[in-house]
Structure 1
């Protein structure tokens, strides 16, 4: 995967919701706890069209696969990194706008509830009924 493609989040616009997990340290407690929290709800996240990006300094990988390759992500890290925080969580909606930003681990229930309260998700739920 080349660098330009790996950092182009616009390919997800109107297709996927994104969770970006930024960390300065792969052993950061909030980062590792957040990964565990998200892994418990893989089916629910997939149903809600959520793609998870792990961003470690100037590298990134998509999803949770142990064998997934880290690729260069300089621009992605620069765009979202807040210098005074060792961990950052972003939920980005289908429209490409940040819906939630936090510096702590967020519960899976809170994430799912927030997504389920979004207008496009409500429409999808209604159309299934």
Structure 2
């Protein structure tokens, strides 16, 4: 009986999308996604991108994808991404306007962090390294 309950629980969990941003659902279980909402000229965006680009090996090790989402366009800052719709991502994240906002989505599809401030790479990597899937992958 216990095994049947476990199987049913797993089936229910696997059929529930539960993704923070449905547009990114095809990346579930494969990538941790840092979405940077900002316009091209944003000084905070430039600062964030510069910090992250210098840490490519660490991002690769953590299976990361970094996206910049402007009002009308989605660009990959790090990693390969499917074709995405900027308006849909903004709506799903509840982001309007051009203020800088960073949103981290875990491999499980859940939102792990949202910040209006530039993320220090050490803080970002420490957060990711504390996640259960990351810890499990390091064993």
The TM-score by the shorter chain falls in which range?
0.7 to 0.9
Query: Is 1:16 matched up with 2:28?
Result: no
User: Structure 2 matches for 1:38-117, cutoff 5 A?
Assistant: 38-64=52-78, 72-83=85-96, 86-117=99-130
| Alpha-carbon displacement from aligned partner over 1:24-54 (angstroms, at most 9, x marks no partner) | x211111110001110111101110001111
The 5 A counterparts of 1:17-36 are 17-23=32-38, 25-36=39-50
1:82-114, Cα deviation, whole Å (9 max, x unpaired): 336611001100010010100010011011100
| CA 85–61 in structure 1, closer or farther in 2 if over 3 Å, else same | closer
Q: 1:10 Cα shift? A: 0.7
Give ranges in structure 2 of 5+ residues lacking alignment: 1-21
C-alpha root-mean-square deviation of aligned residues, in Å?
2.1
Looking at secondary structure, tell me which structure has more strand per residue: 1
Which structure has the larger Rg over C-alpha atoms?
A: 2
Unaligned stretches of 5+ in structure 1?
1-6
Quick check: 26-35 or 78-87, which moved more? 78-87
| Residues paired across the two proteins, number | 115
- TM-score normalised by length of structure 1: 0.80
